[in-house]
């Protein structure tokens, strides 16, 4: 019984081996070099039923069924013939075409190669040829040209040729600014420029700006986008920009559409001027009504800086910085007053902070008192101030003496009404707890109290 099992296993193994066995195909035949003018060949194999392939299609391509090989670029690829079952044979097929860059820039060289020994030659007067090294002299000014390079080898009966494009490097004939010193303020770091590039170099163009900072002796590159106008025959005017916050001297080069780079040229020298120092703009007394009787004060000023008062686009008095504070009267009418500082040497400007609202008619003179009347002695107050949204309005004023109520209006600095209510008056005085709406934002507000034609304004700071 054991003997029968052993014979069965041996027979099964034999059957399995025969099922997966294959025969190595015959050797590949044909011409294994691709020569001009067609750069094609046909391979064959005596074993039928196989498929042709190549693991590297960068040099040659092959038809899977016919074995026709077509050249792509100079070099050698391995061609494989595979039969059913996976057995295969290989052969090296060489494309004798010349390999190397297709363009040479003026003032530079490229190297061409071929897979077989041979000699190089050319009839072009524009280039220098040494072995496979092609040099286009720096003085070349023929725009876009071409040169035919010939390679003769015993491996091919026909000479091998290739055409190299000759590219005149971009020549910047003018740059605005070039050279120049560009001065900008800290808030304006974009430098715009235009260039004229001589005809002969193909677009599109890319600009590189190389930066030398005398403060750190370092360089970096800024690539810029450019727009092109005019035509190829008359030259190009290119528009670009350079966005930077670094000072120093910039150097530029231009890269054309074929990758040729111009000579480095000196670009603009950038200097950065600081903005005027921002000082606080305030009332002379932060607790009094801000009307035509108040003084507007700048806490400090710098020599060489001019400070101009303005309101609503209308400018008023300009004062030269003294190294100490400056003061103005609000003589331009109602509105938000501001001070603009300008550096007299550089023209750089900045806005002092904050803007101050002034209402020239908000506080009027007190009326004459009647017989037996007494003057209020407790001034109107808002406490606490700053407020978290809850405060008490209390005190007295002459215009309340005969009133039963006063109208309280709470407005933001732009004059928008946020809250209005009637406050009862007792013996010429008020004492009213007020809670502000929850949607009021932090900031400065004004509380206007009025009775009849008279009023008084108090300042309130909300800080929840």
DSSP string, 410-427: EEETT--EEEEEEEE-BT
Pairing, β 226-229 against β 236-243: antiparallel
Say how far apart CA 336 and CA 235 lie, in whole Å: 54
The pLDDT of residue 180 is 63
Residue-level length of the chain? 464
What are the E-state strand segments in 60-127?
Answer: 60-62, 68-71, 75-82, 88-95, 103-105, 108-111, 119-122
Say how far apart CA 71 and CA 156 lie, in whole Å: 14
> Do 431 and 394 meet the contact criterion of CB atoms below 8 Å apart?
yes
Closest CA to 91 of 82, 101, 100: 82
CB atoms within 10 A of CB 84: 10
The pLDDT of residue 80 is 97
Q: What is the pTM of this model?
A: 0.53
Say how far apart CA 207 and CA 239 lie, in whole Å: 10
Closest CA to 162 of 151, 177, 175: 151
DSSP 204: -
Contacts of 221 (CB under 8 A, 6+ apart): 208, 209, 210, 211
- In the three-class reduction of DSSP (H, G, I as helix; E, B as strand; rest coil), residue 24 is classed as coil
Say how far apart CA 2 and CA 14 lie, in whole Å: 19
Say how far apart CA 112 and CA 102 lie, in whole Å: 9
Say how far apart CA 232 and CA 254 lie, in whole Å: 16
> Do 146 and 163 meet the contact criterion of CB atoms below 8 Å apart?
yes
> Residue-wise pLDDT tens for the chain (464 aa)?
444 444 444 344 343 434 446 899 999 999 999 999 999 999 999 999 999 999 888 999 999 999 999 999 999 999 999 999 999 999 999 999 999 999 999 999 999 999 999 999 999 999 999 999 999 999 898 888 999 999 999 999 999 999 999 999 988 777 665 456 667 776 555 555 666 777 778 877 777 766 654 444 444 444 444 444 444 444 555 555 555 555 666 677 788 889 998 887 776 677 778 889 999 888 876 545 566 667 889 999 999 999 999 987 788 899 999 999 999 988 887 788 899 999 999 888 999 888 888 775 544 333 333 333 334 346 788 888 889 999 999 888 878 888 899 999 998 877 788 999 999 998 888 999 999 999 999 888 888 888 888 888 888 888 88
> Do 335 and 356 meet the contact criterion of CB atoms below 8 Å apart?
no
The pLDDT of residue 287 is 45
Pairing, β 443-451 against β 405-412: antiparallel
């Amino acid at each position: 019984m054991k003997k029968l099992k052993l014979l069965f296993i041996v027979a099964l193994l034999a059957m399995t081996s025969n099922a997966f066995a294959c025969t190595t195909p015959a050797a590949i035949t044909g011409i294994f070099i691709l020569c001009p003018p067609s750069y094609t060949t046909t391979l064959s194999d005596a074993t039928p039923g196989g498929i042709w392939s190549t693991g590297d299609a960068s040099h040659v391509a092959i038809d899977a069924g016919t074995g026709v090989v077509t050249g792509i670029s100079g070099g050698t690829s391995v061609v494989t013939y595979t039969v059913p079952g996976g057995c295969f044979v290989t052969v090296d097929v060489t494309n004798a075409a010349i390999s190397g860059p297709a363009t040479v820039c003026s003032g530079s060289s490229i190297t061409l190669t071929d897979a077989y020994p041979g000699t190089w030659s050319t009839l072009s007067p524009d280039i220098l040829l040494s072995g496979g090294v092609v040099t286009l002299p720096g003085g070349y000014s023929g725009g876009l040209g071409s040169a035919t390079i010939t390679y003769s080898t015993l491996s091919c009966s026909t000479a091998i040729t290739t055409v190299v494009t000759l590219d005149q490097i971009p020549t910047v004939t003018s740059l605005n600014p070039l050279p120049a010193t560009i001065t900008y303020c800290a808030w304006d770091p974009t430098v715009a420029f235009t260039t004229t590039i001589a005809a002969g170099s193909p677009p599109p163009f890319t600009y590189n700006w190389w930066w030398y900072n005398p403060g750190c002796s370092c360089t970096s590159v800024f690539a810029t986008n450019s727009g092109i106008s005019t035509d190829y025959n008359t030259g190009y005017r290119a528009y670009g920009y350079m966005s930077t916050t670094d000072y120093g001297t910039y150097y530029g080069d231009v890269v054309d559409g074929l990758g040729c780079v111009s000579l480095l040229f000196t670009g603009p020298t950038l200097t950065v001027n600081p903005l005027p120092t921002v000082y606080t703009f305030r009332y002379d007394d932060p607790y009094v009504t801000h009307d035509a009787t108040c003084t507007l004060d700048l806490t400090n000023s710098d020599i060489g800086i001019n400070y101009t008062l303005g309101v609503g686009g209308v400018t008023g008095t300009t004062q030269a910085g003294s190294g100490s504070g400056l003061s103005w009267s609000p003589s331009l009418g109602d509105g938000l007053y501001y001070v603009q500082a300008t550096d007299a040497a550089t023209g750089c400007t900045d806005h002092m902070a904050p803007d101050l609202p002034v209402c020239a008619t908000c506080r009027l003179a007190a009326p004459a008192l009647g017989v037996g009347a007494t003057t209020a002695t407790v001034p109107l107050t808002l406490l606490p101030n700053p407020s978290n949204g809850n405060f008490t309005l209390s005190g007295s004023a002459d215009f309340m003496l005969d009133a039963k109520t006063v109208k309280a209006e709470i407005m933001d600095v732009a004059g928008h009404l946020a809250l209005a209510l009637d406050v009862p008056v007792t013996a010429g005085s008020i004492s009213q707890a007020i809670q502000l709406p929850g949607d009021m934002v932090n900031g400065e507000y004004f509380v206007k109290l009025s009775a009849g034609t008279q009023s008084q304004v108090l300042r309130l700071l909300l800080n929840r």
